[in-house]
Amino acid sequence: MDRISLGNEEFEGRNNAYVLADDGADELALVDTGLATDSVRRDLRDGLAERGYDFADVDDIVLTHFHVDHAGLAGEIQAESDATVYVHEADAPLVAQEPDAIAAVEDRRRERLEEWGVPEDARDELLAFLESAEIDGQPADPTPIEDGDRLEIGGRTLGTVHAPGHAAGLCCFETKRGDEAFVGDVILPVYTPNVGGADVRVERPLQKYVETVDRLADRDYERVWPGHRDPIEEPTDRALTILEHHRERAESILEYLADHGPADAWTVSAHLFGDLEGIHIVHGPGEAFAHLDHLRHEDRVAYENGEYRLPEGPVGLEDIV
């Protein structure tokens, strides 16, 4: 697979933009675009130039999800090329930067941060980071897609597999033979995708993410192409490893509550991740909340006055995730 590796200083892990080109049909498509920063723009332009292309030559852009490190340059490329930008219907309003959609996310984030017990100074630090980053890029005019849609781009046929959890509209795009897929941030080769803080719109985020990872494991791809870093040669094994990681994290949270008593999501995130800064001020407690929320729905913890506690009686650890 033809991959352009893109810098990413704002978030951990280099991003990937995948180049799909059919010389005979003269079609050029990109899967994800990277951040709208000067250095990433240069990385992408240079990578395309090495292949004989420029932004103006792009016919189609497929976005795995709305996050700016995947979609930031989509609007700019579309403005130069008139490319069609495909993204799941749940994420399309954010890629278009519709004011109401953005305001709804910001309001929801503020509500969540307060619910999670994030201190006011940390909330201010997060807001300052988000305002100073300036990485949203230009709005795009997206074409919404949904699960099961088939895209004919870059001389290839890609099948859309809706994969919510990390983001409400995250999608995988599998090849015509069904043995490989572009998976965005569903599974990653080095670390686990954030669940809970990465998209505050998602209800029951851990449950949705686990269902997505189970779905990917069941498809048993031979190889997948993630949104960050290197391809994953044993994706089913990696998916199962991530599920085990979340089971162990849930156990750790139950043990913490048993040892220390009731706690809010911010306190639990400090146990899991230590001190947090930048984007992790929302990612950390969001991840803790995702697990606590899942444990609450499974009747493993109780929730009262902003804190989670163990219920009366023994709490089993089997089948947590």
Please provide the DSSP assignment of 197-234 as one string: SS-TT-SSHHHHHHHHHHHHHHHT-SEEEESBSS-BS-
Task: Copy the structure tokens of residue 234.
Answer: 């044993």
Task: Copy the structure tokens of residue 186.
Answer: 């569903």
Task: Copy the structure tokens of residue 13.
Answer: 């892990």
What's residue 131's pLDDT? 80
Predicted model pTM: 0.94
**CA–CA separation, 24 vs 318, rounded Å?**
55
Find, among 115, 87, 249, the residue nearest to 171 by Cα.
87
The percentage of the chain sitting over the pLDDT mark of 90, rounded to a whole number, equals: 87
What's residue 7's pLDDT? 83
- For the beta carbon of residue 69, count every other beta carbon within 10 angstroms: 25
Query: What distances in angstroms separate CA 218 from CA 17, 174, 240, 258, one per listed residue?
Result: 26, 14, 10, 35
User: What domains are there in the chain, each with its CATH number?
Assistant: 3-106+132-233 (3.60.15.10)
For 44, half-sphere exposure in the C-beta direction (CA atoms, 13 angstrom radius) is 33
The residue whose two tokens read 């090329």 is 81
**CA–CA separation, 154 vs 20, rounded Å?**
5
Q: What integer best gives the mean pLDDT of the chain?
A: 93
Higher model confidence: residue 194 or residue 133? 194
Q: How many residues does the chain have?
A: 321
**CA–CA separation, 224 vs 144, rounded Å?**
23
Classify residue 273 by burial, with Cβ atoms within 10 Å: 0-12, 13-18, 19+.
middle
pLDDT in tens, 47-90: 999 999 999 999 999 999 999 999 999 999 999 999 999 999 99
